[in-house]
Amino acid sequence: MFKELFNDTTTTLFGQISLVIFAVVFTAIVVRTLLRPKKTMDRYANMPLDDDHSHHGDA
């Protein structure tokens, strides 16, 4: 599938580069999100419900 995509004469070099950059960044974000500790994700999930604003940066 990728061989056909990259062999297409209408696909430019910039298009190929942008596709690779997108795939790498997307994969990095997904992996980073999945590897986060559950405690950290629970804290982020509860942020909108917390009345304490001390960890939001506004003291």
Q: How many separate domains does the chain show?
A: 1
What's the pTM value of the predicted model, to 2 decimals? 0.55
Residue at 58 is within a domain: no
Note the pLDDT tens digit of each residue in 1-40. Answer: 667 766 665 667 888 889 999 999 999 999 999 999 999 8
Structural domain span for residue 17 = 1-37
pLDDT (0 to 100) of residue 12: 79
pLDDT (0 to 100) of residue 59: 42
Query: Distance (Å, rounded) from C-alpha 21 to C-alpha 4?
Result: 19
Residue at 17 is within a domain: yes
Residue at 22 is within a domain: yes
User: Which of helix, strand or coil describes residue 2?
Assistant: helix
Reported in sequence order, the residue ranges of 11-59 that DSSP labels E, i.e. its strands, are none
Question: In terms of residues, how long is the chain?
Answer: 59
Query: Distance (Å, rounded) from C-alpha 23 to C-alpha 59?
Result: 39
The residue among 36 and 51 whose pLDDT is bigger is 36
In the predicted model, is pLDDT for residue 57 greater than 60?
Answer: no
Residue at 33 is within a domain: yes
Query: Distance (Å, rounded) from C-alpha 30 to C-alpha 56?
Result: 24
Residue at 32 is within a domain: yes
Q: Which two tokens stand for residue 52?
A: 């304490």
Residue at 50 is within a domain: no
